[in-house]
């Protein structure tokens, strides 16, 4: 999966296209991924949904510190939530969602955005998912480095 994403990210003409291609390749890589999206951080305070595959979400803009997404960006670390119903930070997008992973996209300690994946299966995300998605986040961070990313 990582090799495929590396190819599509490298082939993209600009960062926004790289995000779209990466989201689609990641989504297709597992039946457990029911909603896959990338949020980009704007003005250091709001996560704005860039591209996604899955049902439309009411949470297209998430302030830092809100939701699992905001917490991951603020804490600058991957968050794996095996049971979203048991996490008070969770912002619901789809009643079918049972578990979630959020992986920050960071360059030199600065959060640029994040990869967010929801699953209808409980506890769907293991160490292998986390490791692969952190590699994808690093690829995207490289692609963004030194550029403005427009929506």
Residue numbers at the binding site for ligand SME (CB under 6 A) = 35, 37, 57, 59, 62, 67-69, 90-91, 93, 100, 116, 118
**Cβ proximity to ligand SME, 6 vs 121, nearer residue:** 121
- Residue of this chain nearest to ligand SME (CB atom): 67
**Cβ proximity to ligand SME, 4 vs 59, nearer residue:** 59
Return the closest-CA partner of residue 89 out of 119, 124, 59, 44.
Answer: 59
Residue 78 CB, nearest distance to ligand SME (Å)? 13
CA pseudo-torsion sign 38, 42, 48, 50: negative
Strand pairing category for 61-63 and 79-81:
unpaired
Residue 101 CB, nearest distance to ligand SME (Å)? 10
Q: Are 50 and 42 in contact (CB under 8 A)?
A: no
């Amino acid at each position: 999966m990582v090799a495929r994403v590396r190819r599509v990210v490298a082939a993209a003409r600009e960062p926004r296209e790289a995000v779209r291609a990466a989201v689609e390749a990641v989504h297709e890589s597992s039946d457990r991924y029911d909603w896959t999206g990338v949020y980009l951080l704007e003005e250091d305070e709001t996560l704005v949904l860039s591209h996604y595959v899955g049902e439309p979400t009411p949470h297209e803009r998430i302030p830092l510190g809100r939701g699992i997404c905001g917490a991951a960006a603020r804490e600058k670390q991957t968050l794996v939530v095996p049971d979203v119903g048991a996490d008070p930070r969770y912002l619901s997008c789809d009643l079918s969602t049972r578990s979630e992973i959020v992986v920050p996209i960071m360059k030199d300690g600065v959060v640029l955005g994040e990869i967010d994946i929801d699953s209808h299966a409980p506890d769907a995300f293991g160490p292998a998912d986390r490791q692969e998605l952190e590699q994808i986040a690093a690829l995207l961070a490289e692609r963004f480095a030194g550029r403005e990313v427009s929506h």
